[in-house]
Amino acid sequence: MIYTFENTCKEYPDIENKDGLKYIYFNTTGTKGGTESIKQLLSYLKHSKIENVTNEKLSHIHDYVETVKQASEVRDRYMTIGEMLDASKEEGRVEGALDVYVSLVVDGVLSLAEAAERLGMTEEELKSRMC
């Protein structure tokens, strides 16, 4: 569920880099690792609905999300990634959707199988278009 990366020296891995820089990636479809709080957060992030608000911190996040969605400058342009990809596919802009899904696969957010399924392709078709 959670992946933490820190800077290291490839040539001398025993050298400690004390800059404190870390990259933390969350996988909303992950099943291993993570605390109960992380699991609840990822569940909410995957489906940002009131039904997934399970504690006070998530309630604050949800309130903020709802406030932002109601702001006039955001409301008219608000779409989830899924809605944007669905709209892209419906409007015949498959190439744009394909680019987004390829990026999600390359970044490790989606598996090749998940991306292919969402695009209505086989894994082999998607692989051939990724080059």
Same domain, 126 and 105: yes
Same domain, 93 and 62: no
Same domain, 64 and 88: no
| Rounded average pLDDT over 27-49 | 85
How far apart (Å, rounded) are the C-alpha atoms in residues 40 and 58?
Answer: 8
CA 58 centroid distance within chain: 18
Given this model, what pLDDT does residue 78 score? 58
Structural domain containing residue 22: 2-75
Same domain, 61 and 93: no
| Rounded average pLDDT over 97-106 | 79
Given this model, what pLDDT does residue 94 score? 55
Same domain, 44 and 103: no
How far apart (Å, rounded) are the C-alpha atoms in residues 101 and 87?
Answer: 14
Same domain, 25 and 87: no
Given this model, what pLDDT does residue 1 score? 83
Give the three-state DSSP class for 112: helix
CA 22 centroid distance within chain: 18
The total number of structural domains in the chain stands at: 2
How far apart (Å, rounded) are the C-alpha atoms in residues 80 and 48?
Answer: 10
Q: Which two tokens stand for residue 66?
A: 């709802």
Instruction: Answer whether residue 97 shows pLDDT above 60.
Output: yes
Given this model, what pLDDT does residue 54 score? 92
How far apart (Å, rounded) are the C-alpha atoms in residues 130 and 98?
Answer: 9
How far apart (Å, rounded) are the C-alpha atoms in residues 55 and 77?
Answer: 29
Same domain, 39 and 98: no
Mean pLDDT for all residues in the chain = 79
Instruction: Answer whether residue 19 shows pLDDT above 60.
Output: yes
Q: Which two tokens stand for residue 69?
A: 């969605």
